[in-house]
Every structure is written in C-alpha cells, then in structure tokens.
Amino acid sequence: MGAALIRAFAGSGRDVTVWNRTHERALGLAAPHVEPVRSIGEAVAMSPLVLACLSTYDDVRASLDEIDLAGRALVNLTSGTPRGAEEMADWAAARDVDYLDGAILAFPDFIGSPDALLAYSGSRRVGDTHGALLRRLGGQSQWIGERADVANICDASVIASFYTTAITAYVEAATFALDNDVPPDVLRAATRVVLRTLGHSTKEAAAAIATGDYSTDQAKLSTYAIGTRDVLQSVRRSGVPARLLGATVESLDAACAAGHGDEGICAVAEVVRAQPDG
Ligand SMILES: NC(=O)c1ccc[n+]([C@@H]2O[C@H](COP(=O)([O-])OP(=O)(O)OC[C@H]3O[C@@H](n4cnc5c(N)ncnc54)[C@H](OP(=O)(O)O)[C@@H]3O)[C@@H](O)[C@H]2O)c1
C-alpha cells in the first residue's frame, strides 16, 4: 500500500521522502520526485507532513517514538480499531503533533483514482491545510469528523461489517446456485439486477436508520423473515450449512419477535443497537 501512496503523490508532482525499515524496499521506490532515505528521523526532518502506513498502530508508535515530531502534521493511514485511533491521537497530542487518522477504503491499484475513498478524521487543521494533497490519493476522500476514531468506525462499518460480509454471503449464495445447475450467465445477470436494487436499498436504509422511520408500502420485515426462514430450511436440508443466511434469519426473527414485523426491513436496526440488558 505504501508504494501505491507514494506513486500517487509523486505522479501528481509532489516531492516525497520515503523511509522503510527494510532500506532496500525504500530504494526500490526511487523515482522522479521520490527520495528514499535510510533513517526515519531524516524523512521526518524533511517533511512538514508525515504520512505513516505500516502494519499496525504499534509499529507506527515504535518507529516514531524517539523522533522529534513537534510542529509536524501526522497522517496515519495504518488500519486499526476505533480505540486504537483514540490512543494514537492521545500519543500524538502528548508530542505536540497535529494528528489526522485515515482509513483506506480501497485496494492499492485504486489509490490515486477518482473512485478511491480514504476517510480522514481528527485534526480539522490538517484536513483543511492538506486536504487537496490528501485527495490526490483518492477522488472520493473526505474529512469526516473531529474525533480521531470516526475514520476507523467508517472503515469497520463499510468495509469489515458490510463489504466483507456481503462478498462472503455472495460466495455462499453463488456456490449454492452454481453447484445446483444455475448457469453462470444467468447468475451474472440476476446479480447485476440485485446489485442495482441493493444500491437503492442502502440509500433508503441509511435514511430510515437516521430518522427511525421504518415504514414501508413494499415488503414487510415479516415477509422477508418467512421467506428466508423457508429458504434456509431447504438449503440446509440439501446439506449446505448456509452460515450467513442463518445469521440473517436470526436477525430478522429477532426484529419480528421485538414487534417490528409490520415495518420495513430496516427496523432490524432496533435489534442491532445495544440492548439494555447487555
Ligand atoms: N493492501 C491493502 O489492500 C490495504 C487496504 C487498506 C488498508 N491497508 C492497510 O495499510 C497498511 C499496510 O498494508 P500493506 O498491504 O502495505 O501491508 P504490507 O505489504 O505487509 O506492508 C507493511 C509495511 O509495514 C512495515 N512494517 C511492519 N512492521 C513494522 C515495524 N515493526 N516497524 C516498522 N515497519 C514495519 C513493513 O516493512 P517491511 O517492508 O520492512 O516489512 C511494510 O513496509 C495496513 O495497516 C493495512 O491494513 C491495506
């Protein structure tokens, strides 16, 4: 990922100083506008804006712990947890560093493209001062809040909870279909249609959850619950474990049991939120 970030900056004409603990790897990135250096202190000294992208937050802290960062802006694009981002912000504040946390919601090949999204949260000053530069890493990039943990919450929500679960559910579903003689081109065509519907549904869901208005004149939650429960039984009878479908049925049943069966499917939000008893 670091190489992709460097290429995007250098490609847009910015000078980048690169440090990697394995110096040969940094040397391999040498190019017009890219200068590899042997020590991290040297890299920081040459840069008003320090961008970190290592494996973990602990690696970032360990690498920068002895370095004088006072007066610098630090943007940390390493993946982590919301709690980790808060700890990182405290660590930076103790060193008089303006801290912006970033989450990369893209693969390396998409870095620098108009569709790539990097979410930033934390120091508004860094977001304002370096916003144009940071958007070079992805055209959809945004500063989304003052709390350092918000970027990681966005990542945890959209990538880990939604995208990863959705693609795993698709693999489960597609395996079931293809193993049972649904022709691949039929599966592809049906998938295209459903993805369009999913696009509309996610927009409606965000609005419904934000307002608490789960009313619908289309499909009731209980209709989904009955349908998916029947499908789950028949899929499982065929020997397929259908783990994600099982989890879906559990969520829908819980929402129905909580009295939301006549509302839209987004009323599941009411049983997603932490329950008073735990
Ligand atoms: N790849 C993706 O699709 C993707 C997408 C979104 C976010 N991210 C995030 O971006 C970060 C980097 O991912 P990556 O794919 O580039 O991983 P990677 O290829 O494993 O690179 C990790 C980098 O961290 C360095 N590093 C590891 N431990 C270190 C330590 N203790 N001290 C100093 N440097 C250390 C490594 O140095 P060496 O070269 O010396 O090993 C390497 O430069 C991760 O937090 C990842 O979750 C990646």
3-state SS, residue 229 = helix
Instruction: Give CA–CA dist 261/41, Å, rounded.
Output: 60
pLDDT band at 273 (very low <50, low <70, confident <90, very high): confident
In the chain, the amino acid numbered 72 is: R
pLDDT in tens, 153-178: 999 999 999 999 999 999 999 999 99
Output the residue whose Cα is nearest ligand 1's atom 7: 104
Instruction: Give CA–CA dist 74/101, Å, rounded.
Output: 8
Neighbours of 195 (CB within 10 A): 11
- For residue 277, pLDDT over 90 is answered with no
Q: Which of 1, 18, 64 to mutate to test the pocket of ligand 1 (most atoms within 8 A of CB)?
A: 1
HSE of 270, CA atoms in CB hemisphere, 13 A? 21
pLDDT attached to residue 274: 67
Mean pLDDT of the chain: 95
pLDDT in tens, 169-225: 999 999 999 999 999 999 999 999 999 999 999 999 999 999 999 999 999 999 999
Output the residue whose Cα is nearest ligand 1's atom 23: 54
Instruction: Give CA–CA dist 103/91, Å, rounded.
Output: 18
| DSSP string for 113-142 | STT--EEEEE-HHHHHHHHHHHHTT-TT-E
pLDDT attached to residue 121: 98
Non-local (6+) Cβ contacts of 202 within 8 A are none
The H-or-E segment that residue 217 falls in is: none
Q: Is the CB of 104 under 6 A from ligand 1?
A: yes
Q: Is the CB of 83 under 6 A from ligand 1?
A: no
pLDDT band at 254 (very low <50, low <70, confident <90, very high): very high
**What's the mean pLDDT in 16-35?**
97
**What's the mean pLDDT in 143-155?**
97
pLDDT attached to residue 23: 97
Helix residue ranges, H only, the chain: 2-11, 23-27, 40-45, 57-64, 82-93, 124-135, 150-155, 165-179, 184-211, 221-237, 243-255, 269-272
- For residue 275, pLDDT over 90 is answered with no
